[in-house]
Amino acid sequence: MTCTAAYDVLRRKISNQTTVTEFLLLSFSETRELQILHFVVFLGIFLAALMGNILIIAAMALDHHLHTPMYFFLMNLSMTDLGSISVTVPKSMANSLLNTRSISYSGCVAQVFLFILFMAVDLGFLTIMAYDRYVAICKPLHYESLMNRRACIEMAASAWISGIFCSALHTGNTFALTFCGGNMVDQFFCEIPQLLKLTCFDSYLNEVGVIAFFACLTISCFVLIIVSYVQIFTTVLRIPSEQRRHKATSICLPHIIVVSLFICTGIFAYVKPPSICPSGLDLVVGVLYSVVPPIMNPIIYSMRNKKIKSALKKLTQ
C-alpha cells in the first residue's frame, strides 16, 4: 500500500469520530530511552534560551548606557523569543517525560494563538531594527529626531498590535474549519500547516488564502529589510575610515544572520506544498524556526556587541 493510500485510509477511519476534543502531537520516538534523551536535550535548550534572553533583558533594563532605540528594540525581540520558545518546548518536554502525545483542543488553540503572536511581533521588530540601523548609518544627523522616544514607543506598539491582529485572524480562521482528517498533528507543536492537513478540502482552501496573504506581508517585510541593508552597505562602502566601516558592519551583521535564519525557515514551513506523509523535513524546519532563533539570538547579538558584553559582565559580577 502506498503512503498516500495508507494516509487516506487512516483519515477515513478517524473521520467517523465526532467533535475533536484533543490533538495528538508528533512524538520524536516511541523508544523510552530516546524520549528521555529528547526531554534532556530540549530542557537544556530551553534553559539556555531562558537564561540568555533574561540576561539580555536585565542588562538592557539596568544599564543606562543601553537605553537607546537599538537596545530597546533588541529587548523587545528577546521578550518575543522568550515567549515563543515557552509556548512550544515545555509541552513537548512534558509529553516526552510522561510518555504521552496529547494536547487539549483549547491548549492547541492557545498554543497557535501565542506562537503566531510572538512570531509576528518578532518579524515586526526585525523590520523595525533594520530601519533603525538604516537611519543610524545613512541619516546620522536626523537620527535623534526620527528615532525619538515617542517614535520608538509607537513603532513597538504597532508591532505588538499588528501581531495580535495577525494571530487572532489566523487562529480564528483555522479553528473555524471542520476537521475531517482526525486529530494527529505531524509536528511537535500545534503548527497551522499541519492542522490544515486535518481539515476538509473545501474549508482548507479558505485558510490557504489567509496564509498566502500573510506570506506576502512577510515577504514584503523581508524586501524592506533587504532594501534597508542595500542602502546601508552602499553608505558603508563610502565611509573613508576603515574602523568606522568595521563598526558599521559589525552592528549590521548579527541582524542579517538572525533575519535570514528566521524568515527563510518560517516561509519554507508555511508556503511549501503540504506533504502527504509525515516528513522528517517538516520536523527539522519546525525546530529551525521555532527553537533555534530564541537560543541563537542572544548569542549572536552579545558576541558581536561590546556594550552588551560589558553590561552582561557587570550584571554577572
pLDDT tens column, 294-308: 888 787 776 666 777
Q: What is the pLDDT of residue 218?
A: 80
Q: Percentage of the chain with pLDDT > 90?
A: 25
Domain 21-316: top CATH class: mainly alpha
Q: What is the pLDDT of residue 265?
A: 75
Range of lowest pLDDT (41-45, 149-153, 303-307)? 303-307
pLDDT tens-digit profile of 268-293? 776 666 554 556 777 888 888 888 88
Per-residue pLDDT band for 17 (boundaries 50, 70, 90) equals very low
DSSP string for residues in the chain:
--HHHHHHHHHHHHTTS-S--EEEPPPS-SSHHHHHHHHHHHHHHHHHHHHHHHHHHHHHHH-GGG-SHHHHHHHHHHHHHHHHHHHHHHHHHHHHHHT--EEEHHHHHHHHHHHHHHHHHHHHHHHHHHHHHHHHHH-GGGHHHHT-HHHHHHHHHHHHHHHHHHHHHHHHHHHTS-B-S-SB-SSSS--HHHHHTTB-HHHHHHHHHHHHHHHHHHHHHHHHHHHHHHHHHHHHHT-S-HHHHHHHHHHHHHHHHHHHHHHHHHHHHHHSPPPSS--HHHHHHHHHHHTHHHHHHHHHHHHT-HHHHHHHHHHH-
Q: Which residue has the higher pLDDT, 273 or 117?
A: 117
- Answer whether residue 226 shows pLDDT above 50: yes
* pTM: predicted TM-score of the whole model, two decimal places: 0.83
Which residues make beta-bridge pairs with 199? 179
Domain spans in the chain, listed from the N-terminal domain onward: 21-316
Q: Which residue has the higher pLDDT, 311 or 53?
A: 53
Q: How far apart are CA 227 and CA 234, in angstroms?
A: 11
